[in-house]
Amino acid sequence: MYLKEIVEKVGGRVLSGESKLDSVMVESAAASDLMSEVLAFAEPSMLLITGLVSPQVVRTAVVVGIPAILIVRHENVPEELVDLAKMNDLILVVTPLSMFETCGRLYMEGLKPVKRGKLS
CB atoms closer than 10 angstroms to residue 9: 17
pTM of the model: 0.93
CATH of the domain at 71: 3.40.1390.20
More confident: 41 or 120: 41
102 burial via Cβ count (<10 Å: 0-12, 13-18, 19+): buried
Q: What is the pLDDT of residues 66-90, one digit of tens each?
A: 999 999 998 889 999 999 999 999 9
Residues 6+ apart with CB under 8 A from 37: none
- Domain ranges, residue 80: 3-119
Q: What is the pLDDT of residues 6-46, one digit of tens each?
A: 999 999 999 999 999 999 999 999 999 999 999 998 887 89
What letter represents residue 23's amino acid?
A: S
What is the number of domains present in the chain? 1
Return d(Cα 61, Cα 109) in angstroms, integer: 24
Return d(Cα 115, Cα 107) in angstroms, integer: 14
